[in-house]
Chains A and B, each alone.
Chain A
Amino acid sequence: MPIRRLVKIGEMRVHDVEAQQIIERLVHEWTSSVPLDVFGPSITEQRDPHSGAVHLYVVWDRFRGIGHQQRSEMIMDAYQQVAPADVRNVTLAMGLTAPEVERMGLDL
């Protein structure tokens, strides 16, 4: 009998190779003025002028099916390469798909 194995979306993790590809793509988008294609991530850095705290938001449909925790970890791994001196100021790193942004009513 065929077995269907279900994994809760929030806990789904991609394997290391795919995670590394996603991190490399994020680093490219962060550092290059020319996006690879129109389907790439949309990155927003929000800095509090008083505390200096940085919030990172990445909207990318490639996150679909990946748990939110791992999305956040990949964003931080990319930011560690892009702006190592600024990592200590990051207090939020959120990865979302476009439909999730719409559902949450965020202006990103």
Chain B
Amino acid sequence: MHHQLLTEPETIQDLEVAAAERLNEAKALVAEGQATGGAYLAGYVAEMVLKMAAFRVNGHLPTTAVYPLLAPALHRARIAYGPNIDYQSYHGVLFWALVLADDRNRLGLATPIARHAVNRAQRINQIWSVNMRYRAGLVAQQDAVLLLNDVGWMHSNRLRLWS
């Protein structure tokens, strides 16, 4: 299994499955009062859902590998939002929400859903970052619950985000 993970590139549908699994794990941790661990996993759910949406809205199939889609997204975002956009090595939740909003706008799709996603991503961004993995006790229980609420919204609305 480990070998398979190292040699096979991640696809969009891998993100779909992993997002559901991470969300359940995050909910279980937060319910147990393990706020930082739960929040850490929940942030990745938001990242994965927004990535999926940004890729699917551009017509990519679930079986498409993720790696050739990342650099084009960054270049589009730099044009839309400036060269210094914080993409957090392609993990940024707000980055992906902004990419999605710009792509939906460019494709002539309705943008209110993307605005909701950006607003929630901004809130998530205040609590979550990929860099929190080496820190302990960062997230209060009430913040983890709020974060989980925003992440749950993204997961529940993932089809709307790309359609």
Nearest B residue (CB) for A68: B67
**Which residues of A sit under 8 angstroms from B9, Cβ to Cβ?**
10, 68
Chain A: residues with Cβ within 8 Å of the partner, total of 22
Residues of B within 8 A of A94 (CB): 68
Set of chain A residues within 8 Å of B75, measured between Cβ atoms:
76, 79-80, 87-88, 90
The smallest beta-carbon distance between B105 and chain A, in angstroms, is 11
What band does the interface of chain B fall in when counting residues whose beta carbon is under 8 Å from A?
Answer: 20 to 34
Decide if B70 is an interface residue (CB 8 Å cutoff).
yes
- For residue B72, which residue of chain A has the nearest CB? A90
A73: Cβ under 8 A from any B Cβ: yes
Q: How far is the CA of A72 from the CA of B74 in the complex (A)?
A: 11
Given A51-B107, A53-B59, also A91-B71 (CB < 8 A): no
Which residue of B9, B68, B76, B107 has the most chain A CB atoms within 10 A of its CB atom? B68
The docked-state distance in angstroms from the alpha carbon of A68 to that of B66 is 10
B1 interfacial contact with A, CB 8 Å: no
Q: B60 near A: Cβ within 8 Å?
A: yes
In Å, the complex CA distance between A87 and B76 comes to: 7
B106 contacts A by Cβ under 8 Å: yes
What 9 additional pairs, Cβ within 8 angstroms, besides A68-B67, A72-B72?
A: A56-B72, A72-B67, A76-B71, A76-B75, A80-B75, A87-B79, A88-B79, A91-B55, A92-B69
26 residue pairs A–B, Cβ–Cβ below 8 Å: A51-B58, A53-B58, A68-B67, A69-B67, A69-B70, A72-B70, A73-B71, A75-B71, A76-B71, A76-B72, A79-B75, A87-B72, A87-B75, A88-B75, A88-B79, A88-B80, A88-B106, A90-B75, A91-B55, A91-B58, A91-B59, A91-B60, A92-B60, A92-B68, A92-B69, A94-B68
Interface residues of A (CB under 8 A from B): 8, 10, 48, 51, 53, 56, 68-69, 72-73, 75-76, 79-80, 87-88, 90-95
